Amino acid sequence: MKACILSIGDELMSGNTVDTNAAYLSRQLLAAGIEPVLRETVGDNRSAVAEAIVRAASRADVVLVTGGLGPTADDVTRGALADAMGTELEMDERCLADLEEFFRCRHREMVVENRVQAMIPRGAWALPNPIGTAPGLAAKIGRAGVFVMPGVPREMVEMFETGVRPALPASGRAIRQIALHTFGAGESNVFAMIRDLMSREGDVTVGTTISEGLVTVWVTSRAGTEEDAERQALEVVEPLKERLGEIVIGEGKVTMASVVGQLLRERKQTLATGESCTGGLIGELITQVSGASEYYLGGVVAYDNAVKERLLEVPAPLLAAHGAVSEAVVAAMAEGVRRKTGADWGLAVTGIAGPAGGTREKPVGLVYTALAGGGGTKVAKAIVPGDRPLIRQRAAMAAMNMVRLALAGARKG
Amino acid sequence: MKACILSIGDELMSGNTVDTNAAYLSRQLLAAGIEPVLRETVGDNRSAVAEAIVRAASRADVVLVTGGLGPTADDVTRGALADAMGTELEMDERCLADLEEFFRCRHREMVVENRVQAMIPRGAWALPNPIGTAPGLAAKIGRAGVFVMPGVPREMVEMFETGVRPALPASGRAIRQIALHTFGAGESNVFAMIRDLMSREGDVTVGTTISEGLVTVWVTSRAGTEEDAERQALEVVEPLKERLGEIVIGEGKVTMASVVGQLLRERKQTLATGESCTGGLIGELITQVSGASEYYLGGVVAYDNAVKERLLEVPAPLLAAHGAVSEAVVAAMAEGVRRKTGADWGLAVTGIAGPAGGTREKPVGLVYTALAGGGGTKVAKAIVPGDRPLIRQRAAMAAMNMVRLALAGARKG
């Protein structure tokens, strides 16, 4: 069973908005056993949208369209769907009543422009929008089911969950996808480690991607039943995990920060951070996880040397002798933040994120990380390639990975 | 002059990676006076990619393709371009020599799989890749110029800048786009303020988008010459700026953090931050700007109450009486971080980011921000709608906006 996804909007076409809806819908379709085979983005142009709908409907069993349902003149998707169906728009009294109710409930005036949102192509039916004004649309064109949703991501997700997913055709196929996230080896190194287990053919395929500083190995398994898809996937995942060893940080929806958080929570230990070149990024990533207050106390963003001295008690002579980006200073930062906050673990990072500030001895990308705990302080040094955002991200990830390895290692031992 | 953009890759098709390349290329094309009319995403399937290239080349003057140039079996774009051209792949000795040189310089072994990256369709020519292994490809199909670039965003950007942009056909049209970024009013409020100046027709169009917590008003002007396009755009931008007033934070490539940084730099003043619910996000945003060390000293991530007491000297009785999320505590945090770091300005935020932790008196989304300076301390309170990431982002933006308004106001006065 195949699907096409159409994203409508000049703001997408001009590159001013990045389309996240299509990626969401792709994942949802795959989970329902339906393969997305084509995605298209089209501007707010009625004939271009109509053509795209007709073409998509001729190629797929399911067509998902987002965007262009607003009340203004640049919202053309309703009319385009009517054109694609070879029919016309007509006022849907039930939709109009819902729309009037929506405005009444919110004590907002309904302007005349909004009335157009209650018009639907003859032969189509409306999909309720629980959180916005634009109802969605559903129709049949040939053998294809066509579903039109708003472009606003929150409204789109809500409508997909409540109105579209339940109406998707049964695929008779189950697709199970498992993501193994790794940190500590480049994509080509990961590839070299598992080359013989990678496969592009057959019912189970294995591929890699890089995102958010992690190299992820994707196992996608297709079968007639969910149980078979799961079993097939696990038969590949287990040897992959064994081969990749400790660079695997976790599976599925985890992040480095959530893995570190889970390890700290299990051991009832606390963490504090002293950040220089990352400027607060580690704290930000760790506190993205709801409930981080259980194990994260906080820390110091010691961007300026005076802050390293005043708030982390890094000795001035140490800074003078070694410079802020050095093994001695990063260790003092980690120990300082641990001592000042009373955390079990003090984690610190200092480095040269660039683009300015590099020297021959201390090039852009030089990063020191340190982890101070009850058993002493460990320091690591790395030269990270990339630009400023990438160096900061890799530095933050490398620092959190020190905590992961220290805690996971201790757990095993 | 029209363009199509094709993004190739199973990782895009499955929704595991969000496509940012297409948005970048759209913006670049528009700036060159070429209108993107269609974007397509296709999986790693040779015949589907070839078909998409043929279709795009029949509809546009320029076809930009990204992805599928890697060394492994799932990289099919080279072969697909050959199929679309009705020709075959052959080894390009010059590319092969470049590739061998690339590996030699980096002291890496070149595996046999990499050799395929030096194969190009007969009649096409190679585009150098200054920072990766995969050369790009350029070819003519009918009247269309087809350019193939790697999918890795850094490599794609580098190749576009150096090899593709200079080879784009002259459009004879100039398109000038100006972005006015605002903070402090919702998109519908901004719309209401400038409704009569918004336009979807004619040579100058005006639209709005929301991104990174800012509502941006886009003015797009099309004319025969760059001067005319610029003049037309400014004729609309000036009244827009006047109408929007102090909610306009800046134009073009600025962020809230870069605007605040510029204001601090101009006045030779320094800033320090005390963050609770944002966990380091403000520091992270401020230090995304290269050169932030000139005005940003650092600060304290005071996630735990004990850290608020120990490192920011927030009095324990104050915390006990008012709770961590209160006007009194946020003021003490701002004053504390200013005093401890010696900064000119101390900026603090505390709030309930959720999803847990809300009460009837202090609901999820309650955020206090404070700015302490030589002239005293200002506190602001807001109830921010949205989920955890959105609340944290809005809290960070609202805090930085306090600095902007304080400095911009002082500058005017």
Q: Domain holding B178: CATH number? A: 3.30.70.2860
Q: Round the average pLDDT of chain B to a whole number and report it.
A: 91
Same domain for A146 and A215?
no
Give yes or no for residue A411 having a pLDDT over 60.
Answer: no
> If we measure between CA atoms, which residue out of B7, B23, B133, B24 comes closest to residue B77?
B7
Identify the domain boundary among A123, A144, A167: A167
* Contact between A283 and B292 using a beta-carbon 8 Å cutoff: no
ipTM: 0.82
Using CA atoms, how far apart are residues B130 and B135, in angstroms rounded to an integer? 9
* Contact between A39 and B13 using a beta-carbon 8 Å cutoff: yes
- Chain A and chain B share a number of CB contacts under 8 A equal to 270
What would the pLDDT profile of A344-389 be if each residue is shown by its tens digit?
A: 999 999 999 988 888 999 999 999 999 999 999 999 999 988 789 8
For the range B404-411, what are the long-range contacts, defined as Cβ-Cβ under 8 Å and sequence gap of 24 or more? B404/B249, B404/B256, B404/B259, B404/B260, B404/B263, B405/B246, B406/B345, B406/B371, B406/B373, B406/B378, B407/B260, B407/B263, B407/B264, B407/B267, B407/B269, B408/B246, B408/B263, B410/B267, B411/B263, B411/B266, B411/B267
In a mutational test of the A interface, the residue from B38, B103, B284 whose CB has the highest number of chain A CBs within 10 Å is: B284
* Contact between A342 and B306 using a beta-carbon 8 Å cutoff: yes
The arithmetic mean of pLDDT across residues A292-306, rounded, is 97
Same domain for B8 and B60?
yes
Q: What is the pLDDT of residue A188?
A: 78
Give yes or no for residue A266 having a pLDDT over 80.
Answer: yes
Q: What is the pLDDT of residue B410?
A: 61
Nearest neighbour of A304 by CB, restricted to B15, B273, B293? B293
* Contact between B299 and A299 using a beta-carbon 8 Å cutoff: no
The arithmetic mean of pLDDT across residues B367-375, rounded, is 97
Same domain for B343 and B197?
no
Same domain for B6 and B154?
yes
Q: Round the average pLDDT of chain A to a whole number and report it.
A: 91
Residues in contact with B377: Cβ distance below 8 Å, sequence separation at least 6, in sequence order: B331, B334, B335, B370, B371
Same domain for B357 and B408?
yes
Q: What is the pLDDT of residue B200?
A: 65
Same domain for B89 and B106?
yes
Q: Closest chain A residue to B354 measured between Cα atoms?
A: A290
Q: Closest chain A residue to B12 measured between Cα atoms?
A: A23
Percentage of chain B surpassing pLDDT 90? 67
Q: Which of A104-113, A351-360, B21-30 has the lowest mean pLDDT?
A: A104-113
Nearest neighbour of A307 by CB, restricted to B16, B26, B341? B341
Identify the domain boundary among B167, B182, B212: B167
In a mutational test of the A interface, the residue from B303, B339, B400 whose CB has the highest number of chain A CBs within 10 Å is: B303
Same domain for B267 and B391?
yes
Residues in contact with A53: Cβ distance below 8 Å, sequence separation at least 6, in sequence order: A6, A63, A65, A80, A81, A84, A141, A146
The arithmetic mean of pLDDT across residues B168-191, rounded, is 86
In a mutational test of the A interface, the residue from B10, B14, B273 whose CB has the highest number of chain A CBs within 10 Å is: B14
What would the pLDDT profile of B314-370 be if each residue is shown by its tens digit?
A: 999 999 999 999 999 999 999 999 999 999 999 999 999 988 888 999 999 999 999
Q: A338 falls in which pLDDT band (50, 70, 90)?
A: very high
In a mutational test of the A interface, the residue from B301, B325, B333 whose CB has the highest number of chain A CBs within 10 Å is: B301
What would the pLDDT profile of B30-72 be if each residue is shown by its tens digit?
A: 888 898 999 999 999 999 999 999 999 999 999 999 999 987 7
The H or E element spanning position A319 is helix A316-322
Give yes or no for residue A84 having a pLDDT over 80.
Answer: yes
Q: What is the pLDDT of residue A33?
A: 86
Nearest neighbour of A301 by CB, restricted to B28, B273, B303? B273
Residue A48 distance to chain B (closest CA, Å):
9
Q: A10 falls in which pLDDT band (50, 70, 90)?
A: confident
* Contact between B218 and A14 using a beta-carbon 8 Å cutoff: yes
**Winning range, highest mean pLDDT, from A14-23, A52-61, A354-363:** A52-61
Give yes or no for residue B411 having a pLDDT over 70.
Answer: no
Q: Closest chain B residue to A210 measured between Cα atoms?
A: B17
Q: Closest chain A residue to B35 measured between Cα atoms?
A: A14
Q: What is the pLDDT of residue B16?
A: 78
Higher pLDDT, B30 or A263: A263
Same domain for A233 and A358?
no
Same domain for A126 and A23?
yes
Q: Per the structure, how many domains does chain A have?
A: 3
* Contact between B301 and A304 using a beta-carbon 8 Å cutoff: no
Q: What is the pLDDT of residue A200?
A: 66
Identify the domain boundary among A151, A167, A183: A167
Give yes or no for residue B83 having a pLDDT over 90.
Answer: yes
Using CA atoms, how far apart are residues B40 and A56, in angstroms rounded to an integer? 12
Contact at 8 Å (CB) between B302 and A298? yes
The arithmetic mean of pLDDT across residues A297-301, rounded, is 98
* Contact between B48 and A38 using a beta-carbon 8 Å cutoff: yes
The arithmetic mean of pLDDT across residues B194-217, rounded, is 81
Q: B208 falls in which pLDDT band (50, 70, 90)?
A: confident
| Contact residues, chain A, for B220 at CB < 8 Å | 14
* Contact between B297 and A284 using a beta-carbon 8 Å cutoff: no
* Contact between A288 and B72 using a beta-carbon 8 Å cutoff: no
The arithmetic mean of pLDDT across residues A171-178, rounded, is 84
Nearest neighbour of A281 by CB, restricted to B25, B284, B340? B284
Q: Which domain holds residue A262?
A: 256-412
Q: B413 falls in which pLDDT band (50, 70, 90)?
A: very low
* Contact between B283 and A287 using a beta-carbon 8 Å cutoff: no
Give yes or no for residue B196 having a pLDDT over 50.
Answer: yes
The CATH number of whichever domain residue A62 belongs to comes to 3.40.980.10
Please, is B382 exposed, middle or buried when counting C-beta atoms within 10 Å of its C-beta (0-12, 13-18, 19+)?
A: middle
The arithmetic mean of pLDDT across residues A192-196, rounded, is 88
In a mutational test of the B interface, the residue from A114, A201, A286, A301 whose CB has the highest number of chain B CBs within 10 Å is: A301
Q: What is the pLDDT of residue B382?
A: 93
Q: A58 falls in which pLDDT band (50, 70, 90)?
A: very high
pTM here is: 0.83
Q: What is the pLDDT of residue A283?
A: 98
The CATH number of whichever domain residue B312 belongs to comes to 3.90.950.20
Same domain for B245 and B351?
no
* Contact between B17 and A23 using a beta-carbon 8 Å cutoff: yes
Nearest neighbour of A284 by CB, restricted to B24, B280, B342? B280
Same domain for A264 and A203?
no
DSSP H helices, A167-255, are 187-194, 226-244
Q: Closest chain A residue to B294 measured between Cα atoms?
A: A304
Nearest neighbour of B287 by CB, restricted to A22, A303, A341? A303
* Contact between B297 and A280 using a beta-carbon 8 Å cutoff: no
Give yes or no for residue B209 having a pLDDT over 80.
Answer: no
Same domain for A197 and A324?
no
| Contact residues, chain A, for B32 at CB < 8 Å | none
Using CA atoms, how far apart are residues B328 and B322, in angstroms rounded to an integer? 7
